[in-house]
Amino acid sequence: MINRREFVIGSLMLTGYAAMEGSNVFALPVNDAKVKAVSMKITCTMEVLKPPRNKNINIWTPIPPDNSEQKISGLSVKSRMQYKMTEDISHGNRMLFFNTDKLTAGETITMKYTMVRRTADVVEDRGERPERHLEPSEWERWDDNIARYVDSLVVKESDPVRIGRKIYDALIDSLNYIHEACGRGVSILMFEEKIGRCDEFHALFRSMMMYKKIPVKWEQGIALPYPSVIKKSGEVEADCINAHSWVKFHVGDNKWMPVDVSEAKRRPDLRDFYFGKLAANRIKMSNGRGITLNPPQKSPMNTFPYTYAEADGMPLIYGHNYKNRMKYEAVKIEA
């Protein structure tokens, strides 16, 4: 004989089981390393909180690139302001540019699209000149200490994949990860302090690889929940905490291998996976560091993962003047 409480719990469990059977992969266990792709609808909104008064305001919003790793379709933009689509000359990043002398509190710029984000693998890029990715940004210079360390680590190894793996393992074993901070991604400081987040991990990886004459590309985006824990819908803030970077290094024959050192640090179970693959828990927004937007911004820009704004050439204050929200609706997970 079951009591009323057990009956209710049993009924709920049966209902839940029926829902799992009748729905899709979301309710089933998902192995992040085995997922092939995640499809989702994205709504990215920049909301004005406290607008600057009597100032000329420029706003740049990154447009996520459409490529073999992430298929972007149905892109639409909603804003009372007129805008133009532009592209930066050095990195090819596409963006929306808005100019206005009047913003009102509560007004928004909304970009919607559907994205199929694939698990990234080694990719061929014949349109790319690898040598241009041997140029460190102002934050990625290396010193004699870094050079000596890399020499002792790599010794006589010349294969870029084996060199990459040695550096990757050494960084994971030696560095500490911090999440609630906004990084500058300075290689020398990371080497000395041994604590940082994705930008610091990847700046140092990039410096060490470039020192060994291996070209490394910098990619920037926003981190989303892993397929194993993603809800059917949710929201992340597109800010410096949720911004995420990763890199790809040249392995020869115009082939580039992705690496995510900081996520490998955070997810030891994915350590081997992240040397050569990228989980489908991200949206790529831009390439490179030290970016000059189009039209050019007044202040230096380290990376470009989310909407940036200036008033009379002064950067607006994130969280005070404006905020970026990214809503997602997970449509399908291909395992």
Query: Which of 134, 153, 161, 236 lies at the binding interface for other proteins (CB under 8 A)?
Result: 153
CB of 221 to other proteins, least distance (A): 16
Question: 137, 143 in Cβ contact below 8 A?
Answer: no
Strand partners, 334: 37
Q: Kindly state whether residue 168 participates in binding other proteins, applying the rule CB under 8 A.
A: no
Q: C-alpha distances in angstroms, 331 versus 23, 104, 250, 311?
A: 11, 34, 33, 38
Question: 32, 281 in Cβ contact below 8 A?
Answer: yes
Indicate the residue among 56 and 174 with the shorter CB distance to other proteins: 174
Query: Which of 34, 194, 213, 231 lies at the binding interface for other proteins (CB under 8 A)?
Result: 194
- Which among 306, 288, 305, 188 has a CA at the least distance from the CA of 247? 288
Q: Give the count of residues interacting with other proteins (CB under 8 A).
A: 46
Reading the block at residue 229, the tokens are 């824990």
Strand partners, 39: 116, 332
Q: Kindly state whether residue 49 participates in binding other proteins, applying the rule CB under 8 A.
A: no
Query: Which of 316, 326, 330, 333 lies at the binding interface for other proteins (CB under 8 A)?
Result: 316
In which residue are the tokens 């000329």 written?
Answer: 56
Indicate the residue among 100 and 119 with the shorter CB distance to other proteins: 100
In which residue are the tokens 């209710």 written?
Answer: 8
By rule CB under 8 A, what string of x and - marks binding of each residue 81-120 to other proteins?
----------------------------------------
Q: Within 10 Å of residue 4's Cβ, how many Cβ atoms?
A: 7
Indicate the residue among 105 and 181 with the shorter CB distance to other proteins: 181
Query: Which of 5, 129, 156, 320 lies at the binding interface for other proteins (CB under 8 A)?
Result: 320
Q: Site residues for other proteins, window 280-299 (CB under 8 A)?
A: 299
Reading the block at residue 67, the tokens are 């490529």
Query: Which of 196, 215, 276, 288 lies at the binding interface for other proteins (CB under 8 A)?
Result: 196
CB of 329 to other proteins, least distance (A): 25
CB of 180 to other proteins, least distance (A): 5
- Which among 76, 64, 15, 26 has a CA at the least distance from the CA of 227? 26
- Which among 104, 75, 325, 76 has a CA at the least distance from the CA of 224? 325
Q: Kindly state whether residue 50 participates in binding other proteins, applying the rule CB under 8 A.
A: yes
- Residue 319 — left, alpha, or beta (φ > 0 → left; ψ -120 to 50 → alpha)? left
What is the contact surface with other proteins in residues (CB under 8 A)? 50, 52, 145, 149, 152-153, 166, 170-171, 173-175, 178, 180-186, 189-197, 200, 237, 239-241, 299, 311, 313-321, 323
